[in-house]
Structure 1
Amino acid sequence: MTPSARLQAAIELLDEIIVAARDNGASGDNIAKRFFKARRYAGSKDRRAVREHVYTAIRRFGDRPENGRAAMVGLATEQPELQELFDGSAYGPAALTDSELRASGETIPDWLLDRFAALIDGNEQAVLFDRAPLDIRLNPKKGDAKTIEAAWPEIEALPLPNAYRLPTGTNVENDKQYNGGEIEIQDLGSQAIVAACLPSAPKLVLDMCAGAGGKTLGLAAQLPDDARIIAADTDRGRLSRIEPRLRRSGARNIVTVLLSPNKEEEALGPFKGKCDLVLVDAPCTGTGTWRRNPELRWRMTSKRLDQTTKLQARLLELASNMVAPGGRLVYAVCSLLDAEGGDQAEAFLKNHPKWRDIEVDLPIGRPYRKGTLLTPYQDGTDGFYFTCLEKL
């Protein structure tokens, strides 16, 4: 592919990502996989160049552009070398005109800026779009530090037990340590939330929004085998992805439960008031994961944020009903917005006098509004807010 053809391909791929973001469709990564699968003539250098154009545009513009061409024209305004590629050639984009739609604006949409946690200053905002690191978690029931340190001499130990960082781009999924269940890929922030769950020794654990089971497996790796762990979710596809991970990890104390949206309490009835620990890793806007998923900004609207916070409040209430007296509830979001973090925790505590927040002693994170805030700039993690609550 010529440089101009690569730019045109980037415009076409951006068109699909923009429509999906508007209509809450497939993720950009999945769209890109399908896009290149249908264009097998594109070599590895072509795919890499197209992706670079696409994700540079996604990171640059906080507001969703009208279309892929507007995104790339806006980028070309700031990168003059791109203007030459709008050459009207057979497979390239049409020549630029004075009346072109051009994407513009800041990296964070204006309507969102004042909704971030108070601690998110200019330094914090500047790294929200950096490339995320590759963190792994050692499964102490199947592996040991010496083995993985020998496998990757460049590995870096992180400040939580069993947490390590590898150079970005390291391919671990084809490695025997990964396939043998000795390690799992997991951001340090997610590992911190698991650590916050474990000062006590719970016998019955409910991971109420388990998804593909990353935190479920983290809990299983740390708890004794006689602890019973329930992994529940409303998304059948996401929940099904825990099965191969379970087989690799060797965990035998995890049971999956598929929930029906808005009818979760029916399936969770047997656990009502009996759980020593409930983890709610609630659905959220994902503002803390923009390093990995910058297109999430293009999916966000004030209406969707309002719908999400209402769902979070409902799930937090439901989770509280599952906790036994003296038990704990950990509420977490991969978001840096107050509406999804501190606001939720403080509103819950205000309306539930028989609950209290518990201070968590971790080597990372900052105390913030009845909980803990983790950020890319301060902690080198994805952005998270979590709170640990106890039922009196």
Structure 2
Amino acid sequence: MTPQARLSAAIEIIETIEAQRAPAAKALKDWGTAHRFAGSGDRAAIAGLVWDVLRRRASSAWIMNDDTARGRALGMLKRERGLAVDAIAALCDGGRYAQEPLSEAERAALATRTTDAAPPPVAGDYPDWLDPYLAQVFGEDRVAEAAGMASRAPLDLRVNTLKGKREKVLAALTHLGARETPWSPLGLRIELGADARNPGIHAEESFIKGAIEVQDEGSQLAALLAAARPGEQVIDLCAGAGGKTLALAASMQGKGRLIATDRDKRQLAPIHERLSRGGVHNAEVRSPRGEEEPLADIKASADLVVIDAPCTGTGTWRRNPDAKWRMRPGALEIRLKDQAEVLDRAVRLVKVGGRIAYITCSVLPPENGEQVRAFLGRHAGFSIVPPDQTAAALGDKATAFAGAALRSPEGWLMTPRRTGTDGFFVSILRRER
């Protein structure tokens, strides 16, 4: 397919997303099924265009003064891809499978309009109703922080120290352009261009043998800040597919007792194969059965309970750019209730002197610091471990991390702009009595 045809296809898919209110991933899959002539490179390039339009939906429409699929796509080519007017015009030459030529109004908009006078939600590309929350945590920096959350994420990998060493795995992945992550001593990063296909990590020998897992560096750091130790009893209360379970097992060096569970047993489906491939032998997976409590036998004995809490996912907008536009205020209220419930559930599991690691992939204060303060108001026997103490788990990177991440009395907040990771909040709570 020509670049012109790819742009037309992307605009068609964006129109489908709008008309059918379909998730972007489904719309892209359906288009690929209906257009089997398109090669993998074409599909990757078209997907890149669609995701970039979703990342910059509001600002692109502002630049063009045109909130249509075409207007947003043209604005994105200037805003995100940095193309000049003539380069954009070349993609709209009116030829076969190409868009109609630029109108004079479109040329003028591309040449003159910027987001300098745009309100923060437009300049930062996020829904209006989220502005008070982002202003609360970021203040005047919220546009810059939101712009970071609208950028494309790299592909991050975690080296599984139960199966390999970072130096060896890095050497095996040099052909993919892998390099060390800046913070995590276990991380590798592969940068991806706008039209790049995701590399076939699952076909790499390092992956097949369990030496690497796909995991954002922020998620790796959250697991490290939880500071699971060899010989401890650790419970991963919201284990899901097992990403943090695997990281905790590595921190424990395979020693101690690790229990993984989740209220939604469907989320646990991939964890068994991942634990086996990762060489984890000290983990027990407990799936819920009806109303039965899978941890009924655990009473005030856990050294560490890790809560990778259900949340709005605002910290993952780089990877799920359509999620921010689909999110509604009611979703936040539901998540706040879920978080309070799982925090309260952890209380009876952790022993005196033990810890709760509360983690979200959100940047919104109600899900983070406010949720922690509300928990302390309900449970006077707990205190916050000072963030400076928790950062010590990062070793020689602790000081630099403390200078980059956003610190609050309750914990650490990582963001794409500050730490180059997804947005993650981490608070460590100690049971005093």
TM-score, length basis structure 2? 0.77
Give yes or no for the alignment of 1:284 onto 2:302.
Answer: no
Say if 1:77 and 1:83, in contact at 8 Å, map to a contact too. Answer: no
Classify the secondary structure of the residue corresponding to 1:270: coil
Which position in structure 2 is the counterpart of 1:239? 268
Give yes or no for the alignment of 1:382 onto 2:409.
Answer: no
CA distance in 1 between counterparts of 2:263 and 2:228 reads: 28
CA offset digits 1:97-144 (Å, max 9, x no partner): 9xxxxxx94411221122025246143222111221222222222112
CA distance in 2 between counterparts of 1:17 and 1:271 reads: 46
CA distance in 2 between counterparts of 1:38 and 1:59 reads: 25
Which position in structure 1 is the counterpart of 2:385? 358
Aligned with residue 70 of structure 1, among 68, 71, 78: 68
Which position in structure 1 is the counterpart of 2:107? none
TM-score, length basis structure 1? 0.84
Say if 1:285 and 1:296, in contact at 8 Å, map to a contact too. Answer: no
Which position in structure 1 is the counterpart of 2:160? 139
Which position in structure 2 is the counterpart of 1:59? 55
**In the TM superposition, what is the alpha-carbon distance from 1:207 to its structure 2 partner?**
0.9
Amino acid at match of 2:161: P
CA distance in 1 between counterparts of 2:349 and 2:36 reads: 51
CA distance in 1 between counterparts of 2:208 and 2:12 reads: 36
Which position in structure 1 is the counterpart of 2:128? 110
Amino acid at match of 1:10: A
Q: 1:301 to 1:184 in 2, by over 3 A?
A: same
CA distance in 2 between counterparts of 1:194 and 1:180 reads: 22
Give yes or no for the alignment of 1:217 onto 2:243.
Answer: no
Give yes or no for the alignment of 1:44 onto 2:40.
Answer: yes
CA distance in 1 between counterparts of 2:41 and 2:186 reads: 36
Which position in structure 2 is the counterpart of 1:101? none
* Structure 1: gaps spanning 5 or more residues: 98-103
Q: 1:14 to 1:321 in 2, by over 3 A?
A: farther
Amino acid at match of 2:169: I
* Structure 2: gaps spanning 5 or more residues: 62-66, 79-84, 104-117, 193-197
Q: 1:384 to 1:94 in 2, by over 3 A?
A: same
CA distance in 2 between counterparts of 1:62 and 1:331 reads: 33
CA distance in 2 between counterparts of 1:251 and 1:294 reads: 33
CA distance in 2 between counterparts of 1:266 and 1:16 reads: 43
CA distance in 2 between counterparts of 1:157 and 1:32 reads: 31
**In the TM superposition, what is the alpha-carbon distance from 1:33 to its structure 2 partner?**
3.1
Amino acid at match of 1:221: A
Q: 1:148 to 1:71 in 2, by over 3 A?
A: same
For residues 1-392 of structure 1, what are the structure 2 equivalents within 5 Å?
1=1, 5-18=5-18, 28-62=24-58, 70-76=68-74, 105-106=122-123, 107-116=125-134, 118-119=137-138, 121=141, 122-153=143-174, 155-168=179-192, 169-198=198-227, 200-201=229-230, 203-259=232-288, 263=291, 266-359=293-386, 360-361=390-391, 362=394, 363=398, 364=401, 365-392=405-432
CA offset digits 1:135-191 (Å, max 9, x no partner): 222222211233123224452253333223234355432211111111112111111
Amino acid at match of 1:118: V
Q: Give the number of aligned pairs.
A: 382
Say if 1:18 and 1:298, in contact at 8 Å, map to a contact too. Answer: no
Q: 1:89 to 1:235 in 2, by over 3 A?
A: farther
CA distance in 1 between counterparts of 2:183 and 2:71 reads: 44
Amino acid at match of 1:181: G
Q: 1:338 to 1:54 in 2, by over 3 A?
A: same
Amino acid at match of 2:298: F
Amino acid at match of 2:209: G
Amino acid at match of 2:152: R
Q: 1:4 to 1:242 in 2, by over 3 A?
A: same
- The structure whose residues are more often helix, as a share, is 2
Classify the secondary structure of the residue corresponding to 2:202: coil
Q: 1:374 to 1:260 in 2, by over 3 A?
A: farther
CA distance in 2 between counterparts of 1:366 and 1:232 reads: 30
Q: 1:255 to 1:15 in 2, by over 3 A?
A: farther
CA distance in 2 between counterparts of 1:300 and 1:348 reads: 25
**In the TM superposition, what is the alpha-carbon distance from 1:210 to its structure 2 partner?**
0.9
